[in-house]
Each structure stands twice: as C-alpha cells, then as structure tokens.
C-alpha cells in the first residue's frame, strides 16, 4: 500500500470522525444494500452482480468500473468479484473490431446493447484491478487482477497496430479518445493521477507511454477549462475547443467530473497552481446558487434552456475539487455538500456515484492501494 497521508477535509472543517465514518457507511449501505428504489447495485446469478444506470435501465462500463473502485476502497472483495465476473461474462468482447474491450452498455440480463466501448470504463477497470491485486492478492483467472489490469492497458494503447481496430489513446499526442475510432476527446476522461500509477504498474514496455499520458493530460485540462468559469466542455477537440455532439450544452453531465478529477489528482500527487485556479473559478461561480437553481450552461456561464440533469453531481464534484484549493468558498462548498443527502428517484445513479466518490475523497478514504 502507498505510504502517504490523505487529507480528511471533513475532519479539518470540524466534523467528528464518528460522523464521517457514519456518512461513509450509510452511503455505501444505501447504494449497495438499501431498498430497491434507493440502491443501484444488485446481485445476479452465478456469483455476479451489476450496477444499474437507473435513468436508462441498463448496466454500463462506467458504473460497473465505478462500483469496483468503490468496493476496493471499502474492502469489499465479495462485491468487487461479483462486478468483475459480470463484466467479463457479459461485457467483454472476444471478437469483432473492438475485441479486447468491454461493451459500454448491456441490458440487465447481460445482453449487449452495443458493441462499442467507452474508454472511461477501461481506465477505471484497470486501476481498480491493480488496487485489488495489491489489497487482496491474486487468484485464478479472471481474478488474477494484476495480469488482467496489465493486459487491458496493453490493449488500450496497442490495439490497431496490426490493423485489428483502434487504440483508446492517441499514439501521437497521448490523449484519451471519446471512443476508439474517433479523433476527439472527453475532458472528464482525463485521469492523469491514474496514469501516474499505470506508469508504475503496467507492463514495463508500456510504462513510458503512461508517463507521457499523465503529462499530456495535465497540459490539456487547464486549456480545456474556461478561464473565467472553470467549466470544461462535455466533449472537445484535442486542443480543448468544445465539440458539440448530440445537441447537448457544452457544460453538461460528463463535464462535472473534471472538478472531481482535479481534486483527486491534487490529493494523491499534490496540488498544482492550475488546479487551484479551476477549482476557485468553479466555487466562485456556484457560490451564490442553490442546487435547485443549477442549469446546463455554456462555457462562459450563460445558462442554456434547461435545468441541470444531475445537480447533486455538480455539487459533489465541486466539493471534491476543494482538495485542490482552500479558503471560504471551498469550505462553503464542502459544507453545502455535507448537508446534502443522496439523490432519490430514477436519476439517482450518476449523481450518487459522484456523491460517494466525493465522500471517500473528502474523508481521506479514496486511497492508492
């Protein structure tokens, strides 16, 4: 396990460790063990389990890999293994253009909705597998976690070299793609703090690539974020220019995760000045708004013609960004988050995943293993 100190920002702000531990445990129990109309994890046959996107009634690699990361942080190998086995049984593709990747969406019976991958799932899977190996040790396949993680990363960067598909990272600029067979990106997919660890634990011949990917993403993120609001576009060109897809506003659901990623990068590898600038801008923009007033926005902060689909997610990720800065606005954001409950209803999946990651990060429990 990595020997380092992790900030417990909740404790710094005066909340008791007992209350913090209760918040962590209550959040886990609600999401993984609670009533059917509140949980998002469900057991399935053959010692498997899945995470439900309750807004779309499917299982996605995003949620499955999120659930595995949550499980390894909570020391729940039973849940981790159920999620991983379901992923390998139903989502992993062994033939076709995207063989070696995971189908990004499946019906709850395991039937694939699509035969394309989403790279954010693969990067979360890979790091969760490394953490599982370090925390619990390896067993027989598919629970030989370390080898599975190394092989997945190898596929992500080398696929296509033999004309058999496309890599998930551009070999020219080391930036992650939105999908493998395209040449643009999603700023919220950029996890340089993950790539730092891949550079330690991937197959030796791949480690230099991950060093370069971490550097490239840390250069990309501040360019992609608006200089006044801190908003990152949902999708963008490699130079950070917003790319409009599917008719969404520029600052929309995926965008929110950039703030969380900045906070965790700062917590794991030390804050950088550009991270503070982005976090401060976000906190300033939302400081006079209540969560019910959150909208979808253009990057300059002008509202689009719709309410934010995931307001709890905005608040949670902005709170996590407080790990990259300090001051009264950061404190205000974290306290507002502390006093906000988990979301209920059909759209709870995405908000509550971001919520739990923020709880773990702000309590010093989102750790390198």
The CATH number for 344's domain is 1.50.10.10
Model pLDDT, residue 223 = 98
Which position has the token pair 């989102």?
366
Mean pLDDT of 132-142: 98
pLDDT score recorded for residue 305? 85
Kindly state the average pLDDT of the residues 295-323.
96
Q: Does any domain span residue 196?
A: yes
200 belongs to a structural domain: yes
Indicate whether 296 belongs to any domain: yes
Name residue 44's beta-bridge partners: 48
Closest CA to 212 of 194, 199, 193, 225: 199
184 assigned to some structural domain: yes
Residues 203-221 have a mean pLDDT of: 98
- Residue 249 and residue 189 share a domain: no
Are 365 and 242 found together in one domain? yes
Say which residues have a Cβ less than 8 Å from residue 30's Cβ, sequence separation at least 6: 38, 39, 342, 352
Are 194 and 250 part of one and the same domain? no
Domain co-membership, 319 together with 203: no
| Domain closes at, from 183, 210, 237 | 210
Eight-class DSSP state of 225: S
The full 3-state SS of 292-352, as one line of letters, equals HHCEEECCCCCEEEEECCCHHHHHHHHHHHHHHCCCHHHHHHHHHHHCCCCCCCCCHHHHH
Task: Count other C-beta atoms under 10 Å from residue 227's C-beta.
Answer: 13
User: What's the domain range around 304?
Assistant: 1-39+225-369
- Of the two residues 5 and 300, the one the predictor is more confident about is 300
DSSP code string of 240-294: S-B---TT--SB-GGGGHHHHHHHHHHHHH---HHHHHHHHHHHHHHTT--GGG-
Residues 324 and 236 occupy one common structural domain: yes
pLDDT band (50, 70, 90) for residue 1: very low
pLDDT score of 107 more than 60? yes
Distance of alpha carbon 184 from alpha carbon 236, whole angstroms: 6
In a domain, 133, yes or no: yes
Looking at the chain, the whole-number percentage of residues with pLDDT higher than 90 is 96
In this structure, is residue 219 part of a structural domain? no
What digits encode the pLDDT tens for the residues 224-237?
Answer: 999 999 999 999 99
Cα three-residue angle 136-140-143, rounded to 5 degrees: 50
The b-or-e profile of 255-268 (16+ CB within 10 A means b, else e) is: bbbbbbbbbbbbbb
pLDDT of 191 over the 70 cut = yes
Q: How far, in Å, CA of 237 to CA of 183, rounded?
A: 8
215 assigned to some structural domain: no
Q: Which positions are annotated as active-site residues?
A: 62, 254
Predicted local distance difference test score (pLDDT) of residue 3 = 61
Structural domain includes residue 216: no
Question: What is Dmax (Cα atoms) for the chain?
Answer: 57
User: What pTM, to 2 d.p., does this model score?
Assistant: 0.97
Buried residues in 52-82 as b, exposed as e (16+ CB within 10 A): bbbeeebbbbbbbbbbbbbbbbbebeebbbb
Is residue 83 located within the same domain as residue 127? yes
Average the pLDDT over 135-144 and give the result. 98
User: Do both 263 and 278 map to the same domain?
Assistant: yes
- DSSP string covering 30-52, please? HHHHS-TTT--EEEETTTEEEE-
State whether 80 and 196 are in the same domain: yes
Residue listed under structure tokens 């992650």: 176
Q: How many Cβ atoms sit within 10 Å of the Cβ of residue 181?
A: 14
Among 210, 242, 270, which residue terminates a domain? 210
pLDDT in tens, 39-98: 999 999 999 999 999 999 999 999 999 999 999 999 999 999 999 999 999 999 999 999
Tokens found for residue 70: 């949550």
Contacts from 135-140 at CB under 8 Å and sequence distance 24+?
A: 135/1, 135/72, 135/75, 135/369, 136/77
pLDDT value of position 219: 98
Q: Pairing between strand 48-51 and 41-44?
A: antiparallel
The pLDDT of residue 303 is above 70:
yes
243 and 157 in one domain?
A: no
Q: Domain ends where: 182, 210, 238? A: 210
Provide the number of structural domains found in the chain. Answer: 2
Both 148 and 268 in one domain: the answer is: no
Q: Is residue 200 located within the same domain as residue 277? A: no
Residue 2 has pLDDT above 50, yes or no: no
46 and 30 share a domain? no
């Amino acid at each position: 396990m990595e020997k380092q100190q992790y900030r417990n920002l909740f404790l710094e702000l005066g909340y008791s460790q007992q209350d913090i531990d209760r918040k962590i445990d209550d959040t886990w129990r609600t999401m993984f063990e609670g009533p059917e109309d509140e949980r998002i994890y469900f057991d399935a046959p053959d010692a498997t389990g899945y995470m439900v996107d309750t807004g779309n009634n499917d299982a996605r690699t995003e949620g499955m890999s999120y659930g595995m990361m949550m499980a390894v942080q909570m020391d729940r190998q039973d849940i981790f293994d159920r999620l991983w086995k379901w992923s390998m049984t139903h989502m992993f593709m062994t033939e076709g253009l995207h063989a070696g990747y995971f189908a990004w969406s499946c019906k709850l019976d395991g039937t694939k909705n699509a035969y394309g991958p989403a790279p954010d799932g693969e990067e979360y899977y890979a790091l969760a597998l490394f953490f599982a190996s370090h925390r619990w040790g390896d067993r027989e396949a598919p629970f030989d976690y370390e080898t599975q993680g190394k092989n997945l990363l190898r596929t992500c960067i080398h696929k296509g070299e033999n004309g058999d598909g496309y890599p998930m990272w551009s070999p020219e600029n080391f930036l992650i793609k939105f999908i493998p067979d395209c040449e643009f990106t999603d700023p919220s997919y950029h996890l340089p703090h993950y790539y730092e660890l891949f550079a330690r634990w991937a197959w030796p011949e791949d480690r230099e690539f991950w060093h370069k990917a971490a550097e490239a993403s840390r250069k990309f993120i501040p360019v992609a974020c608006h200089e006044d609001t801190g908003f990152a576009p949902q999708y963008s060109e490699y130079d950070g220019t917003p790319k409009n897809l599917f008719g969404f506003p520029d600052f929309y659901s995926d965008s929110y995760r950039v703030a969380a990623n900045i906070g965790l990068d700062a917590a794991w590898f030390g804050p950088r000045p550009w991270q503070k600038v982005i976090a401060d801008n976000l906190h300033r923009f939302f400081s006079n708004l209540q969560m019910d007033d959150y909208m979808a926005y253009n990057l300059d902060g002008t509202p689009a013609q719709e309410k934010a689909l995931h307001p709890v997610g905005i608040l949670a990720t902005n709170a996590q960004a407080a790990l990259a800065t300090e001051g009264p606005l950061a404190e205000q954001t974290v306290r507002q988050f502390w006093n906000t409950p988990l979301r209920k209803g059909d759209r709870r999946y995405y908000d509550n995943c971001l919520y739990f990651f923020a709880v773990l990060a702000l309590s010093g429990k989102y750790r390198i293993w």
